[in-house]
Structure 1
Amino acid sequence: MSSLPGLDPAQQAWVTERMPDAQLVRDMSWGLVETTVLHVRAGGDDVVVKAAGPSDTHLPREISAHAGYTAPLILTGHAARLRDASAEVRVILLDHLPGELVLGTDAEWQAATYVQAGVLLRRLHEQESRTDAEYEARATARQLYWLDQPHRIDPSIAARARHVLASAPAPAVMLVPTHGDWHPRNWLIDDGVVRAIDFGRFDFRPAATDFARMAAQQWRERPDLEAAFLDGYGSDPRDPELWRLEALRQAVGTACWAFKVRDEAFEQQGHRMLSEALAAYDGS
């Protein structure tokens, strides 16, 4: 086995022990965060190697997701099976799924894609639910923390966002197992079949939070795609007041995180999201 890019010595040794004949097929890493994603071939099988740096928080979440909540999707071939994992070494092995990312393809703008994505998300969400009296306060506090970090948000906009967040309601809410980044960048399409990837932001949250990425991007000018998704999902869990607040939290997090990782295009999206989210509070 030749050395695989992006792995530290301990990760390389761990992978070699399990797949001594692994050969790199493609480096699928995004290059924005300290996570390496590799498509390798070993023993005739196609495998995904995901390795994380020391400050990464996503890999443990992905391990948790596969430990208890991806089974309904894996059973039907709509998510990858976890082959092996080491939280200590910060590396996991997954079956490689066929298909290409939906993002940037014609499928990104086809209603049939969103019907399937809605069905899959409902199957993830419906496995368990729990009431949490502190979730909303925690979620808002995280975005106030982001506003305390370096960012390029206009001071007047940041002050307005801070005011709205500081006075936001914090009722008890129902939480379900969520993907955390549910949108076309984390869907594959293969001969018309949609599959889900990357559970690195898995956590228990309100179901509506998994709608936020699509609402800020694909649904903005395509309400038909939103309608198709809801048709597949089967209902609309969004409470108007909490959805307005979630849009603001998502906007703050996007603008600040994108600045941190130097993704200028995503940062600009975050600024646009902020303007739109705050506009929803005008007059309130």
Structure 2
Amino acid sequence: MTNPITPAPDLLAWANRTLGARPSVQDASHPREDSRVWQLTLPSDIRFYLKVSPRPLMYERETLALRHAASALGAGRAPQLRASSAEHLALLLTPVPGRPLKQLTLTPAEEVRAHRQGGTLLARLHAAGDLSGPRRAEAEQSLQAAADGADDHLRKAGGRVSAAEEKLVRDLAEQLRTLPPLPLAFIHGDAWDRNLMWSKAQNQAGWIDFERSRFATAVQDFVLMACATWADRPDLRAAFLQGYGRDLTPEEQHALKCLAALDAVSCLVWGPKLDDRHVTARGRRTLGRLKEGAFA
């Protein structure tokens, strides 16, 4: 499947009815096969985003997040859900000011401010979800579920992972099963520079793309940043955690190392599949850091 340039007629008709007007449409999809996002601009110049989730589970997760948790971030810090359609797996969203941090060229001081604010907002999100009943059980079992996925990741990676690397990943995955209970949260699930917005004009951060949000251990929301941006920028890690309000416990830091091994193998699966050399390079670099004992 390739990204359609315009929404399907019935989907666009639903958006038109919801907005009460016929907007202009501009493709705003990410450069990947399953991304379907359009910017809708009304004659009054008010903008919305129309997003179609790749799978029902992602639709359900993002809808839950936007209805029950994202408002805790504050006005303009996360999209507001104008309407949703389970039939189309579609979400009609308000924009968040600024652009993704990954797309911006900022001064080091601006980057520190953006990461500090990003940490503050993530702490609000982590505290926003209702962790009662089955949701608590889901969160408590999340590290076990991550460990259970190691075999599948390694099988799909095949020859891209050496025997020594495979042993390392299996050992670290098994260590996830023996950790004591860790802090639980409602996590973003895809928290990194691609989804962290920054508005230079407003000096304000925000988060977008909640389709992987779920109840889990809080530390699972730090894996992508630890494997990417923070690898070269300990100052950004420090700023983010300062905004978050606390450092990771020793047990969380060890869990982060174990989870990084799983992320590395996942990168070696999806990077080549999507022909994304940056994802592949992230996986290789993380494995190298783990083998050298340099992951912290």
User: Counterpart of 2:151?
Assistant: 144
Q: Where does structure 2 lack aligned partners over 5 or more consecutive residues?
A: none
Q: 4+ residue runs of structure 1 moved beyond 4 angstroms?
A: none
User: Counterpart of 1:175?
Assistant: 184
Q: Deviations over 1:149-200 (max 9, x none)?
A: 2556233255324532453241444321111111221122222211111111
Q: Which amino acid aligns with 1:140?
A: A
Q: How does 1:40-189 map to 2 (within 5 A)?
A: 40-44=40-44, 45-53=46-54, 55=55, 57-73=57-73, 75-107=74-106, 109=108, 110-128=111-129, 129=131, 130=136, 132-149=139-156, 153-165=160-172, 167-170=174-177, 171=179, 172-189=181-198
Q: Deviations over 1:187-229 (max 9, x none)?
A: 2222221111111111112112222222122212221111111
Q: Deviations over 1:97-131 (max 9, x none)?
A: 22122113233842111111111111111224546
Cα gap change, 1:80 to 1:252, in 2 (>3 Å): same
Cα gap change, 1:279 to 1:6, in 2 (>3 Å): farther
| More moved, 249-258 vs 12-21 | 12-21
Q: Where does structure 1 lack aligned partners over 5 or more consecutive residues?
A: none
User: Counterpart of 2:16?
Assistant: 16
Provide the TM-score with structure 1 as the length reference: 0.86
| More moved, 95-104 vs 200-209 | 95-104
Whole-Å separation in 2 of the counterparts to 1:43 and 1:154: 53
Whole-Å separation in 1 of the counterparts to 2:266 and 2:56: 17
**What SS does the corresponding residue of 1:126 show, helix, strand or coil?**
helix
Q: Which amino acid aligns with 1:200?
A: E
**What SS does the corresponding residue of 2:103 show, helix, strand or coil?**
coil
Q: How does 1:210-225 map to 2 (within 5 A)?
A: 210-225=221-236
Provide the TM-score with structure 2 as the length reference: 0.83
Whole-Å separation in 1 of the counterparts to 2:164 and 2:11: 43
Contact 1:46–1:96 under 8 Å retained in 2: yes
Q: Deviations over 1:2-30 (max 9, x none)?
A: xx835334423322332441112x32211
User: Counterpart of 1:231?
Assistant: 242
Contact 1:143–1:253 under 8 Å retained in 2: no
Whole-Å separation in 1 of the counterparts to 2:233 and 2:15: 43
Higher helix share: 2
Contact 1:175–1:207 under 8 Å retained in 2: yes
Contact 2:147–2:176 under 8 Å retained in 1: no
Higher strand share: 1
What is the root-mean-square deviation of aligned Cα atoms in Å?
2.5
Whole-Å separation in 1 of the counterparts to 2:176 and 2:189: 22
User: Counterpart of 1:243?
Assistant: 256
Q: How does 1:265-280 map to 2 (within 5 A)?
A: 265-280=278-293
